[in-house]
Structure 1
Amino acid sequence: MENDSVPQEITTLVGREVYTNSGVFLGEIEDLRLDLDEQQVTGLALHELNDELFAQEAASARGVIVPYRWVQAVGDIVIVNDLAERVQQAKVDDEDENEVRA
């Protein structure tokens, strides 16, 4: 990410949609996780989640937190790397493996 841009209020992130770098919608930023000692954003709290990716999380919680280190770009939308999709795929693979064992 560009560090030479004009600083913005972190609250401007709230309400922006979050997508993976391959174009998969993850959710909308509802809040931010901050490290007050380091004075930096450490995570994005998402709500309005993509039901296909986060069905279990959407049913049992208000949202999910995406680590800020996954963020690749911030503009009108936020782009995160595809680790989010890999994490979801790992869940699916684990569920499939458990079904085969049962």
Structure 2
Amino acid sequence: MDDTPQEITSLVGREVYSNNGVFVGEVEDLRLNVDGEAVTGLALGSLNTELFAGEANGARGVIVPYRWVRAVGDVILINDVVERVRDPDDEEEEIIA
């Protein structure tokens, strides 16, 4: 992974895939910790409707924790979310109404 600093706005519009190649969604916005100057989450839209069929019904998108990100390049790779969506930990995922 390239550690060269990037403009955070360059993440917007990138497609997000799980590490096993399943399309998850597209980055629409970022959740930031302004004091810590860090990205804490990715707000995804254009969701894979099969992946989020029951969980995000009628929602505009989801926010996934940035700690799930494994690689950032032409696309963003995150931990496999299928299991997490089906059996989420406490605050792992947020549905945006």
Q: Give TM class, smaller chain.
A: 0.7 to 0.9
- The one-letter code matched in structure 1 to 2:67 is R
Offset of 1:60 from its aligned partner? 2.3
If you compute each CA radius of gyration, which structure gives the higher value, 1 or 2? 1
Q: Tell me the residue number matched to 1:67.
A: 65
SS in 2 for 1:87: helix
Report if the CA contact (8 A) 2:55-2:85 is conserved: no
Q: How many residues are treated as equivalent by the alignment?
A: 88
> Using the alignment, how far apart are the partners of 1:60 and 1:75 within structure 2?
30
> How large is the Cα RMSD of the aligned pairs?
1.6
SS in 2 for 1:60: coil
Asked whether the equivalents of residues 70 and 78 of structure 2 are also in contact (C-alpha less than 8 Å), the reply is yes
Cα distance in 2 for partners of 1:58, 1:7 equals: 33
Relative contact order, CA 8 A, sep 6+: which one is greater? 2
1:99: which partner in 2? none
More deviation in 11-20 or 56-65? 56-65
- Pair 1:58–1:89, CA change in 2 (3 A): closer
Preserved contact between residue 45 and residue 65 of structure 1 (Cα < 8 Å)? yes
Match of 1:22 among 20, 23, 38: 20
Matches within 5 A, 1:39-54: 39-54=37-52
TM-score between the two structures when normalised by the length of structure 2: 0.82
Matches within 5 A, 1:1-102: 2=2, 5-82=3-80, 84-90=81-87
Higher-strand-fraction structure: 2
SS of alignment partner, residue 61 of structure 1: coil
The superposition leaves residues 7-29 of structure 1 with CA deviations (integer Å, 9 ceiling, x where unpaired) of 11000000000001100110000
Which ranges in structure 1 are unaligned for 5 or more consecutive residues?
Answer: 92-102
Higher helix share goes to which structure?
1
